[in-house]
Structure 1
Amino acid sequence: MKNKGLFFILTLLTAVLLAACGSDSEQNASGDDKKEDSAWSEIKEKGEIVVGTSGTLFPASYYPEDSNELTGYDVEIMREIAKRLDLELKFEEYGVDGILAAIKSGRIDMAINDMEETEKRAEEFTFSEPYKYSYSTMIVREDDLSGIETLEDLEGKVAGGAATTVFAQISEHFGAELKTYGNVTNDVYLRDVEQGRTDLIINDYYLQSLALKALPEIDVTLHPDLKFYPTSSSVVMPKDAPTLEEKVNETLKEMREDGTLTELSKEFFGGKDASEKPEEDIQEIEGLDL
């Protein structure tokens, strides 16, 4: 009887301990879920999403001449996302270098500014599925192509750009000196190339094509022979925000399937569909540490 009683007590204690462990585990899991979903919960609670963008990147995020209304491909995509998620939308403007820092500090909920996912960025941020596909090109002086025939000719040249972009890293990878700017408009970059203060600008094909079209009086051109580094652009969100990521991706998928992304792209990219991958033969860049 004594042994049976002892066995019963030990069994009961084991059951209690297992229940307690299970309860702690459930609480921890609940706590993790709460932490992971906090980004979306906070947005939903306030009914507003605060988004970082530059406001100076034509045609992704810019102010048309004589207008104080922010627009652009990226801006209108975000307006549609907010509308479909039943949220108010507020834009905060930052230079390219300040956008990611603003996400980390919590000053903004996410960012949209033609930003590409890289391995290093993915360690600190969450990226949506791409809403734009493109590749890199190079603006050079029209009369002599800035003395550049291949990417290797960037050695010793001066490239205009923002310090934390992929395009800046490509320039430096091939030996160019980088001249950085604050949150300036496209004409400042282009005139520096024209006047010899810089030699080139590496950036997105669509953005550079339209910048040149908008400023035909500046004597610069896209390099006719250099198409390299295929790219994609995504919405940038805080790390460990799975619900927010899911909501944004679901909405982008809807917009792709119902033709909204194509419609917006053609509106802002001269009738071209940047929401689909380009068919051109694009040069990959080996050894680029992103």
Structure 2
Amino acid sequence: MRKKLLSTVGAAAIAVSLAACSAGASDAPDAGAEASDGLTLAEVQESGELVVGTEGTYRPFSYHEGGSGALTGYDIEVVTAVAEKLGVEVTFEETQWDAIFAGLQSGRFDIIANQVSINDEREAAYTMSDPYTVSPGVLIVADSNTEIASFDDLSGFSSAQSLTSNWYEVAVGYGATVEAVEGWAQAAELLTQGRVDATVNDELTFLDFEKTEGDTGLKIVDETDDASLNAFALPKGSDDLAAAINEALAELRADGTLAAISESYFGSDVSE
């Protein structure tokens, strides 16, 4: 029976490991959590399904069209294509970001597909797949803002950030005063209302926002030197399953599937 288990920041020289642009608690394993012995491809194939944890509220990566339609998004299409390569059905379990890693640990789902950025902490705690999204972080301000033209100008200004996102680390590293928000939508709202001076977020999130909303009154003024590499997170020790997922991603990249999915959401290939 299958066991489901679960930039660079200027003169301060703070090492930045880029993360998903979502709010929530720390994704480090709970001290009392049972250690995972991982999952294998054989276990997943025997069960006939890949259970995927995702937010369902993180456009354009994982969301419901119109708010109540079918679950869709870049991550949803990519992981569905991966599951097809593995020969199994995909089942989605929607949860808030602050509970998503606990869900992986407890066995509620097998992997997380939610723009999880690869960093040292996560690589130590989980098995990470190869990246399927590559994107820099960007500094966003109002069109009318003439005081902030780069990250070096952030010191002393306010920036709307999710406290557990590493975009928060970027903003703090450059001396910004952080206004805590739950995610991109709230950050954009505060920025357009003039209640904060800036926000740091994923470039793709902003590009989708522009594509959806049209004239947003916001602009990108700078970007991080390092790109965020986003991947699937699996229980630690799931090397066999991760290898199969990586093989599937390689095939999807080679046959143009990842590029096609990327083009449909972003107008360019963001998978490499």
- TM-score bin, normalised by smaller chain: 0.7 to 0.9
Question: Could you tell me which residue of structure 2 aligns to residue 250 of structure 1?
Answer: 247
Question: Could you tell me which residue of structure 2 aligns to residue 274 of structure 1?
Answer: 270
Cα offsets for 1:221-244 (capped at 9, x unmatched): 222x44533221111111111111
Q: 2:107 matched to 1:111?
A: no
CA contact (8 A) 1:128 1:249 kept: yes
Distance 2:236 2:100 in 1: 15
TM-score, with length taken from structure 2:
0.79
Q: Structure 2 unaligned runs (5+)?
A: 1-35
Cα offsets for 1:88-143 (capped at 9, x unmatched): 21112233333222212222211111221001111101111111212111221110
Q: Structure 1 unaligned runs (5+)?
A: 1-34, 277-290
Q: Say if 1:95 and 1:155 are closer, same or farther in 2 by CA, change over 3 A.
A: farther
Q: Say if 1:162 and 1:102 are closer, same or farther in 2 by CA, change over 3 A.
A: farther
Q: Say if 1:154 and 1:97 are closer, same or farther in 2 by CA, change over 3 A.
A: farther
Higher relative contact order (CA 8 A, sep 6+): 2
The structure with the larger Rg is: 1
Question: Could you tell me which residue of structure 2 aligns to residue 125 of structure 1?
Answer: 126
Distance 1:131 1:226 in 2: 20
Distance 1:160 1:78 in 2: 30
Question: Could you tell me which residue of structure 1 aligns to residue 139 of structure 2?
Answer: 138
Distance 1:131 1:232 in 2: 7
Count how many residue pairs are aligned between Structure 1 and Structure 2.
237
Q: 2:218 matched to 1:234?
A: no
Q: Match of 1:176, as an amino acid?
A: A
TM-score, with length taken from structure 1:
0.75
Identity of aligned residues (%): 32
Question: Could you tell me which residue of structure 1 aligns to residue 188 of structure 2?
Answer: 190
The structure with the greater share of residues assigned to strand is 2
Q: Match of 2:213, as an amino acid?
A: L
Instruction: Report the Cα offset of residue 163 of structure 1.
Output: 2.3
Distance 2:178 2:102 in 1: 21
Q: Say if 1:48 and 1:58 are closer, same or farther in 2 by CA, change over 3 A.
A: same
The structure with the greater share of residues assigned to helix is 1
